[in-house]
């Protein structure tokens, strides 16, 4: 799966992953992160998620990264914001008060460009990536953010029954990917249906840095 896969999804409006209201796992559990007012939250592979508007409405700043120019355009339209746009290396930065979205590939984003963030919200980002990319992604997000705390949503199910994305990611894999830098604890685990085809488990993980941050 390469970047063309996602750009084509947005072109064809195959965006079933997009939720029409802020995700309750975020709205009901953000307090776990103990963020200071005005703190910045990193939203990798953000699409045009309504969680960004919700985080801003709670007084937090948001920094996102997203491949698709369509998603970025519609994100700002939905928020009734006109971004100031600049080129930053291979990425394009779209900025408005309390919001910066880097349009491009997350692997082209570096820590200096991202700037300081206080936490990461990962929903449909890790699980959007095939197994062979997930270790690189997890290490990159950890390094980019300086291993700030994360709330991470995963989905686990029988990968033989349904093909991803979203891909099945087990608790053991979360611990393998993040267990060196983070203490990994499960906040919520609940049954779900994957594409209406197969039972699965959706989990919310709190990753808190082992070395403090």
Phi, psi (degrees; rounded to nearest 5) at 105: -85, 130
Number of chain residues interacting with ligand SAM (CB under 6 A): 20
- Whether 45 has a binding-site annotation, put simply, is yes
The residue nearest ligand SAM at its CB is: 47
Among 63, 118, 125, 184, binds ligand SAM (CB under 6 A): 125
76 makes contact with ligand SAM (CB under 6 A): no
Span 24-63, contacts to ligand SAM by CB under 6 A: 45-47, 49
CB 136 within 8 A of CB 193: no
- Whether 12 has a binding-site annotation, put simply, is no
Instruction: Say what angle helices 50-57 and 69-78 make with each other, to 10 degrees.
Output: 40
Torsion of CA 155, 157, 163, 165, to 10 degrees: 0
- Whether 121 has a binding-site annotation, put simply, is no
- Whether 74 has a binding-site annotation, put simply, is no
Q: How far apart are CA 184 and CA 201, in angstroms?
A: 17
6 makes contact with ligand SAM (CB under 6 A): yes
Please enumerate, by residue number, every residue annotated as part of a binding site for S-adenosyl-L-methionine: 10, 45, 66, 123
């Amino acid at each position: 799966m390469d970047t063309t896969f996602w750009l084509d999804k947005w072109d064809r409006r195959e965006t079933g992953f997009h939720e029409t209201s802020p995700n309750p796992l975020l709205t009901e559990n953000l307090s776990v992160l103990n963020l200071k007012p005005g703190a910045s939250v990193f939203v990798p592979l953000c699409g045009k998620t309504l969680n960004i508007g919700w985080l801003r409405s709670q007084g937090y700043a948001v920094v996102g990264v997203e491949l698709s120019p369509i998603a970025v355009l519609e994100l700002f339209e939905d928020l009734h914001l006109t971004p100031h746009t600049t080129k930053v290396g291979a990425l394009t930065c779209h900025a408005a008060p309390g919001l910066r979205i880097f349009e491009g590939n997350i692997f082209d984003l570096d820590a200096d460009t991202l700037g300081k963030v206080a936490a990461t919200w990962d929903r449909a980002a890790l699980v959007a990536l095939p197994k062979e990319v997930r270790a690189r992604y997890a290490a990159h997000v950890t390094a980019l953010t300086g291993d700030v705390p994360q709330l991470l949503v995963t989905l686990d199910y029988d990968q033989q029954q349904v093909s991803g994305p979203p891909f099945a990611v087990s608790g053991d894999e979360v611990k393998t990917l993040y267990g060196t830098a983070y203490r990994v604890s499960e906040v919520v685990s609940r049954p779900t249906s994957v594409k209406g085809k197969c039972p699965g488990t959706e989990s919310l993980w709190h990753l808190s840095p082992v070395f403090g941050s």
